[in-house]
Amino acid sequence: MDLIRFDDMKRETANRLRILYEEAFPAEEKKPFDYMRQLERAGKMEILSLMEREELIGLNINMLAGDLAILDYYAILPEKRSGGYGSIGIQKIMDRFRGRKLILEIEKQDASAPNAEQRASRKKFYMKNGLKETNLFVNAYGTDFELLVPEGSLTYDEYTKTLSSVLGRDGFEKMKVEQI
């Protein structure tokens, strides 16, 4: 599996990636795609396709700030799920950031949430694939998240500085991030 930058994708692949992004994430958690493209051109974000030969498997969008990165969005096409692609893709992403700090946000575990089973399944997937708990929890965009890393530790300050560096003060303030 290869990770291909948005600017290096064929038009059809880029269009399918954009559709996957729009369909895979809740509206309240999505950033405008054109805004992410601006951040990508500024070197603060990367939009990647997960490709198997010439076929789109999924997407990975990362925020970049020096030696720190936040895995902002990760999705596998619905028809490709349960085929091992998610695990292969997350390993590729972790390899890409080996030696740097990679931060992943997942919805906080909540047995009373309507998608409690999905949240538990997601966390189990990431833990099985080598991510570790940091015991840091944040609320952003009105949603509670748990922060995971593949190695090392993480502070709330590192997380917020990464967000602020990528999004700027105004973008960061719109997220209404607070530690919980």
Per-residue pLDDT tens over the stretch 15-37:
999 999 999 988 888 899 999 99
Gap between the Cα atoms of 90 and 131, Å rounded: 10
- pLDDT at position 50 is 97
- Rounded to a whole number, what is the distance in angstroms from the first to the last CA of the chain? 37
Residues forming a β-bridge with 104: 71, 148
Four-CA torsion 123, 126, 129, 134, nearest 10 degrees: -90
Q: What is the pTM of this model?
A: 0.91
Residues 79, 31, 74, CA angle at the centre, nearest 5°?
A: 35
Mean pLDDT score of the chain: 94
Q: Give residue 1's Cα distance to chain centre.
A: 18
- pLDDT at position 40 is 97
Domains of the chain in start order, with CATH, are 2-179 (3.40.630.30)
**10 confidence band (pLDDT: 50, 70, 90):** very high
**176 confidence band (pLDDT: 50, 70, 90):** confident
Per-residue pLDDT tens over the stretch 77-134:
999 998 999 999 999 999 999 989 999 999 999 999 999 999 999 999 999 999 999 9
